[in-house]
Amino acid sequence: MMQSGVPHCSACGESVGFGPNGEVFVACHECSFPLCKACLQYELKEGQKLCLRCGASFTAGLYNLMLDGAETQATDTRSKMASHLQNQEGGVHSRTISNFSTIESESTPESGNPIWKNRVQSWRERKNKETVSKTALEPQVPPDQQMEEKKSQEAMLPLSKVIPIPRNQLTPYRIVIIMRLIILGLFLNYRVTHPVDSAFGLWLTSIICEIWFAISWLLDQFPKWSPINRDTFVDRLSTRFERIGEPNEFAAVDFFVSTVDPLKEPPLITANTVLSILAVDYPVDKVSCYVSDDGASMLTFESLAETAEFARKWVPFCKKYSIEPRAPEFYFSQKIDYLKDKVQPSFVKERRAMKRDYEEYKVRINSLVAKAQKTPDEGWVMQDGTPWPGNNTRDHPGMIQVFLGHSGAHDMDGNVLARLVYVSREKRPGYQHHKKAGAMNALVRVSAVLTNAPYILNLDCDHYVNNSQAVREAMCFLMDPQVGRDLCYVQFPQRFDGIDRSDRYANRNIVFFDINMKGLDGIQGPVYVGTGCVFKRQALYGYGPASLPSRPKSSSSCSWWCCGSKKTSKDLPEGYQDSKREDLDAAIFNLTEIENYDDYERSQLISQMSFEKTFGLSVVFIESTLMESGGVPDSVNPSTLIKEAIHVISCGYEEKTEWGKEIGWIYGSVTEDILTGFKMHCRGWRSIYCMPLRPAFKGSAPINLSDRLHQVLRWALGSVEIFLSRHCPLWYGYGGGRLKWLQRLAYINTIIYPFTSLPLVAYCSLPAICLLTGKFIIPTLSNLASVLFLGLFMSIISTSVLELRWSGVGIEDWWRNEQFWVIGGVSAHLFAVFQGFLKMLAGLDTNFTVTAKAADDAEFGELYVFKWTTVLIPPTTILIVNIVGVVAGFSDAMNNGYEAWGPLFGKVFFALWVVLHLYPFLKGLMGKQNKTPTIVVLWSVLLASVFSLLWVKVDPFLNNDNGKAMAQNCISIDC
């Protein structure tokens, strides 16, 4: 193939090629006559040493041919080059003006010179002879072998690539961040050095708030210093691990789906999630789906049985016609042309039949739900007449049922289906079960005993697989030998269905998922957000990455590990053993207990005891932890696996082990996801953020105001719990030095942000106070102060605009995020701080109950549902106080004349800033019928009235000197 931009040889028509220095080959540097190396070599053999166009010597061509190993004698070439260079240095050239014109005319193809034509003809003939002889000598490679070689070359290419943000977008962004930091320092310096004596208390409060906001901005901004994008090559993954005629080499994946209460988490939604997993575009023998029923509900059990039967029809239909998404409820509800790109004549007929089957399946599920509304007095009874073991949800044995994956589990076309397993862990009174984190750890142990896939993908029950190739997208990172070496998990963004177009309460959380997470991906990786995440199983076991350098071996640790690993870890790489040894050092026991054993028996016993103290008393599970590539150990009897799986989900299995401390999902917070990912990053692992064009997973979000605030309250409460625990990023994980500083700032921000609610409530109340008292937190502005205020304002706008530019986030999504930051800050975050301190310090668990009101039947009707909760009181009070303050401010200005209008605008601007940010809350408070519950109005008016009366009576920000002067004036006029 011809190189673009490279001239063609005037003799043979081929590309002239490149020289040894990488530049285009030039035979004559005088006239740049296009001649390839082969033709020039032929000319030199024929004795032609001068260019036919200009008559100059082929000096450069001789030099390049000498470097390329031409057949011309090196000594003869050097002598000719030396004589030519001597002629040039002496000022004598090999041609004159007269012979230049003659030769040039002869060498022009259009001139018809016979010498030129003969020479060109001889060049072409020799070129053809060389081509024919070269083709005859080359061995003929069969086309099939050529294709195989091409595929093997493609298979060695990287499976993903990093797409950095363009420099013309990132460089201005960084410059503006630095400028904003400088301006912010100058602004705070001005504010601190210019106190307002007439309202010192207000000024001091505002200074404290502004300093905290500056710190909060730093913690949020600098982890976004180096954002990146990533792209995957799924076709290369298939070429490398899924070759035709060879065994499939894809790694197995265990899917985890967790549910608790089927009445709050509808079984139909959970079933759709399970169906989308069973139909995923991945080898069926590599997929296992484990459903954790932490409520031991017979409704969930029976709905899964119905789902397993319907999957025999649904899965082959999806794979035959490449259906997207593969959750039937969401596929059939799409308002798109379902015939697009579907050319099979039978598709329409089969789709209609499948839709009828799904409607019948929904009827059966809904009948089970209706039946479960009222529990019989004697409890539920199974079809064989035995009582349901989970009738007492707080006291029941462990239950495991394999629905699919055993002998005979085939679909309607006779193909094998993926494995589907129902799991309900044992629960007994007096044991701490640790809610979702405990259920996930039980799934880790069950899956390790039954299938032991090297990778785990966890989903919430309401998050279905929207992209059937999502697992392949993750494997482009995890199965890459270079990228996946120290990779603990691949996190996908959360996307949601059923949210109104304006996204009033920022349910999509676009700014976090499209800006913050991209920034973290450029440091050490995104945080774990609880769902849509593919884990490396070995990382969940508390091991460090294999790429970490070996630790210095102390005498104590070396004495037991080096001896105790003769059999259990002899086949593992050295770096991997070091990472295991480091995290198992915590399994300390008394060596004097085994003094009567010989050295070999002692070493084996020590090794076994260390693993048992870490992982628990299960030989099968312990053996599975040492199998980095997954799979069930060959030494295990398959008939005993279910019994062993029941054992590892017993309620006492985790006692005196490292589960929840160093292994699996970490306990101690309702946001166990943040804590689990943080522990992994502290061990030196890194994570990756994967954003395929088609969202990998989609879920449902609470779209009404009350439910959304309670969701935010739970997240903020988890952050407060981490802050008050030993895992606080402010002081945890410094010893290993494996957590990068910008990554630590990001984690600090995740546990500090709820405390911003305290200064935010104060700052949102200041405008109303200023309007009611006639005072202000800012003194009379000078020229310098005006420039600082303007510069700070412009830097904030510039940072936001440039951030939106490189991230692709829309201005509406950004503004919704800013609004809900204020709404959540003055409500849910504030309650989370107090609830967290009460829970962690005083042991009091305060619940804010929610009472529902009927919804409309219209689309997004749930958006207008109002549920009374005490979380709504603070923002409602702030709204009323600011509105009252604006009215009072205008009334005061009208009474005091035009001089009062100047200071009024600054106060009103801040008050309107608060009202504008709380506007979505105001709309949610009013509801669709523009009616606010009486209890909310009464509470808010009462608080506002009490606050105003106390202010008039006490007036704490009144200057003492002014108060005395006013008192003297009153006395003087005898008032």
- Length of the chain in residues, anyone? 975
Instruction: Yes or no: say if 744 and 523 are a contact pair by the CB < 8 Å rule.
Output: no
What span, in angstroms and rounded, lies between the C-alpha atoms of 926 and 872?
12
Closest CA to 683 of 628, 625, 626, 743: 743
Q: Write out the E strands in 135-286.
A: 160-164, 228-232, 253-259
Dihedral (CA of 861, 866, 871, 876) sign: positive
**Those residues with Cβ within 8 angstroms of residue 857's Cβ, 6 or more apart along the chain or in another chain:** none
Q: Write out the E strands in 410-514.
A: 419-424, 455-460, 464-465, 487-491, 495-497
Q: Does the annotation mark 197 as catalytic? A: no
Catalytic residue among 411, 462, 480, 673: 673
What are the helix (H) ranges across 22-113?
Answer: 37-45, 59-67, 74-89, 97-106
Q: Is 264 annotated as a binding residue?
A: yes
**Those residues with Cβ within 8 angstroms of residue 922's Cβ, 6 or more apart along the chain or in another chain:** 879, 915
Q: What residues form DSSP beta bridges with 8?
A: 15
Instruction: Yes or no: say if 460 and 531 are a contact pair by the CB < 8 Å rule.
Output: yes
- Six token digits for residue 553: 């071996």
The amino acid at residue 331 is Y
Q: Is 595 annotated as a binding residue?
A: no
What span, in angstroms and rounded, lies between the C-alpha atoms of 540 and 525?
16
Q: Is 265 annotated as a binding residue?
A: yes
Q: Is 111 annotated as a binding residue?
A: no
Distances (CA, A) of 498 to 475, 529, 701: 30, 20, 8
- Six token digits for residue 687: 């994570």
Q: Is 281 annotated as a binding residue?
A: no
Instruction: Yes or no: say if 565 and 577 are a contact pair by the CB < 8 Å rule.
Output: yes
Closest CA to 276 of 698, 691, 689: 698
- Six token digits for residue 939: 């509470």
Q: Is 460 annotated as a binding residue?
A: yes
Q: What residues form DSSP beta bridges with 868?
A: 851
Q: Which residues of 768-786 are buried (b: 16+ CB within 10 A; e: fewer)?
A: bbbbbbbbbbbbeeeeebe
How many C-beta neighbours within 10 Å does residue 615 have? 26
Q: Is 550 annotated as a binding residue?
A: no
Angle at 680 between CA 674 and CA 684, to 5 degrees: 135
Q: Does the annotation mark 673 as catalytic? A: yes
- Six token digits for residue 118: 């003969």
Q: What is the distance between the terminal CA atoms of the chain, rounded to a whole angstrom?
A: 104
What span, in angstroms and rounded, lies between the C-alpha atoms of 100 and 106?
10
Tokens 């003769």 found at: 566
Tokens 């400028």 found at: 179
Catalytic residue among 294, 411, 480, 521: 294
By annotation, the residues acting in catalysis are 294, 673
Q: From the annotation, which residues make up the binding site? A: 258, 264-265, 294, 435-436, 460
Q: From the annotation, which residues make up the binding site for Mn(2+)? A: 436, 460
Q: From the annotation, which residues make up the binding site for UDP-alpha-D-glucose? A: 258, 264-265, 294, 435
